[in-house]
A and B are shown apart, each in its own frame.
Chain A
Amino acid sequence: MKYSFAALAAAALLASPAQASVAERVDEIFAASTTWFVNLIFADLPGTGVPWIVGWLVLGALVFTFYFGFIQVRAFGHALQIVRGKYSDPRDAGEVSPFQALTAALSGTVGLGNIAGVAVAVSIGGAGATFWMILAGLFGMATKFTECTLGVKYRNEYPDGSVSGGPMYYIKKGFAERGLPLGGFMAVMFSIFCVLGALGGGNMFQANQAASQVESVLGVPTWITGLILSGIVFIVIVGGIKSIARVTEKVVPFMGGGYFLVGMAILILNWDMIGWAFGEIIRGAFTDTGIVGGMIGAIIQGFRRAAFSNEAGIGSAAIAHSAVRTKEPVTEGFVSLLEPFIDTVIICTMTALVIIITQQLLIDANTGLYILDENGRIANAEGVGAGVPLTSAAFGAAFSWAPYALSLAVFLFAFSTMLTWSYYGMKAWTYMFGEGETKELVFKLIFCFFIFVGAVSSLNAVIDFSDAALFSMAIFNIIALYFLMPIVKRELNSYLLRLKSGQIKAYK
Chain B
Amino acid sequence: MPETYLIAYDGSAASDRALSFGAARARASEARLLLAHVLEWSPYSFLSAEEVAERHKRRNDEVGRAKTVILDPVRKRLTNEGLSVETVVRYGHVAEVLGDLAKEFAATQIIVGRTGEKGLQARLFGSVAGTLAQVAPVPCTIVP
Interface-forming stretch among B14-22, B51-59, B128-136? B51-59
**A90-B92, A160-B57, A162-B57 known; A96-B52 Cβ under 8 A:** yes
Question: How far, in whole Å, are A93 and B43 apart by their CA atoms in the complex?
Answer: 7
B67 to chain A, nearest CB (A): 14
Convert A82-103 into 0s and 1s, putting 1 for each residue whose CB lies closer than 8 angstroms to a CB of B. 0001001011011111111101
Asked if B69 is an interface residue, CB under 8 A from chain A, the answer is no
Q: When chains A and B are docked, how far (Å) is the Cα of A104 from the Cα of B53?
A: 10
Task: Report the Cα distance A320→B45, complex, angstroms.
Answer: 17
Whether the pair A245, B41 counts as a contact (CB closer than 8 A) is: no
User: Does B46 count as interface, using CB distance less than 8 angstroms?
Assistant: yes
Asked whether A419 and B91 contact (CB < 8 A) given A93-B43, A161-B56, the answer is no
- Residues of chain A contacted by B48 (CB below 8 angstroms): 104, 107, 245-246, 248-249, 419-420
Distance of A371 Cα from B48 Cα, bound (Å)? 43
Q: Is A325 an interface residue (CB 8 A)?
A: yes
Category for how many chain B residues contact A: 20 to 34
Residue of A nearest to B100 (CB): A90
Contact (Cβ within 8 A) A324 B57: no
Interfacial chain B residues near A85, Cβ < 8 Å: 43
- What 0/1 readout, one digit per residue, does chain A (66-83) give for beta carbons within 8 Å of chain B? 000000000000000000
* Given A90-B100, A95-B59, A325-B56, residue A100 in contact with residue B45 (CB < 8 A): yes
| Chain B positions within 8 Å of A246 at CB level | 48, 51
Closest residue of chain A to B48 (Cβ to Cβ) is A249
Contacts of A245 in B (CB 8 A): 48, 50
* Shortest Cβ distance from residue A418 to the other chain B in the assembled complex, whole angstroms: 12
Closest Cβ of chain A: how far from B37's Cβ, in Å?
12
Contact check: which of B43, B56, B57, B90 meets A99 at CB < 8 Å?
B43
Check A459 for interface membership: any CB of B closer than 8 A.
no
Contact A323 B90 (CB under 8 A): no
Interchain CA distance A91-B51 in the complex, whole Å: 20
- Report how far A79 CA is from B123 CA in the complex, Å: 36
Whether B43 pairs with A88 at a CB distance below 8 angstroms is: yes
B52 with A100: CB separation less than 8 A: yes
Does A12 lie at the interface of the complex (its beta carbon under 8 Å from any beta carbon of B)? no
Report the Cα distance A325→B60, complex, angstroms: 13
Given contacts A95-B56, A325-B56, whether A250 and B92 have CB atoms under 8 Å apart is no
Beyond A93-B90, A93-B92, whether A163 also contacts B53 by CB under 8 A is yes
Question: Among B46, B55, B56, B97, which residue has its beta carbon within 8 angstroms of that of A253?
Answer: B46
Bound together, the chains give a CA A172 to CA B51 distance in angstroms of 26
B46 engages A320 (CB within 8 Å): no
> Which A residues lie within 8 Å of B56 (CB)?
95-96, 161-163, 325
Minimum CB distance partner of A249 in chain B? B48
Majority DSSP secondary structure for residues of B touching A: helix
Quick check: B46 and A161 within 8 Å, CB to CB? Answer: no
- Residue A423 lies at the interface, judged by CB distance under 8 Å to chain B: yes
Shortest beta-carbon distance, B59 to chain A, in Å?
5
Please report the C-alpha to C-alpha distance between residue A162 and residue B53 in the assembled complex, in whole angstroms.
6
Q: For B43, what are the chain A residues with a Cβ–Cβ distance below 8 Å? A: 85, 88, 93, 97-100
Cβ of A324: which chain B residues have Cβ within 8 Å of it?
52
Given the complex of chains A and B, what is the CA–CA distance between A94 and B97 in angstroms?
Answer: 12
CA distance A100 to B59 in the complex (A): 15
What chain A residues lie within 8 Å of B3 (beta carbons)?
A: none
A475 shortest CB reach to chain B, Å: 24
Are A103 and B46 also in contact (CB < 8 A) when A94-B41, A162-B54, A325-B56 are?
yes
Say whether A93 contacts B50, CB under 8 Å. no
B54 neighbours in A (Cβ, 8 Å): 162
For residue A108, CB closer than 8 A to chain B, the reply is: yes
A167 to B4, CA, bound (A): 51
A248 surroundings in chain B (CB, below 8 A): 48
Q: Give the distance to chain A from B50, nearest Cβ to Cβ, in Å.
A: 6
Chain A residues positioned under 8 Å from B49 (CB to CB): 104-105, 107-108, 320, 323, 419-420, 423-424
B140 CB to nearest chain A CB (Å): 20
- What string of 1s and 0s marks CB contacts (under 8 Å) between B23-44 and chain A? 0000000000000000101011
User: How many angstroms from the CA of A249 to the CA of B47 in the assembled complex?
Assistant: 7
**Residues in A whose Cβ lies below 8 Å from that of B46:** 100, 103-104, 107, 249-250, 253
CA distance A96 to B46 in the complex (A): 10
Q: Which residues of B contact A250 (CB under 8 A)?
A: 46
Complex CA distance for A88 and B48, rounded to whole angstroms: 20
Q: Which residues of B contact A (CB under 8 A)?
A: 39, 41, 43-57, 59-60, 62-63, 90-92, 97, 100
User: Told that A94-B62, A95-B56 touch, could you supply 8 new A-B pairs with CB distance under 8 A?
Assistant: A93-B41, A108-B49, A161-B57, A162-B54, A249-B51, A253-B46, A324-B52, A420-B48
Which 3 pairs between the two chains have the least Cβ-Cβ distance?
Answer: A97-B43, A94-B91, A161-B57
Which residues does A use to contact B, with CB under 8 Å? 85, 88, 90-91, 93-101, 103-105, 107-108, 160-163, 242, 245-246, 248-250, 253, 320, 323-325, 419-420, 423-424
**Can you give 26 contacting A-B residue pairs, CB < 8 Å?**
A88-B43, A90-B92, A93-B41, A93-B91, A94-B63, A95-B55, A95-B56, A96-B47, A97-B44, A104-B46, A104-B47, A104-B48, A104-B49, A104-B51, A107-B48, A108-B49, A160-B57, A162-B53, A162-B54, A242-B50, A245-B48, A249-B46, A253-B46, A320-B52, A423-B49, A424-B49
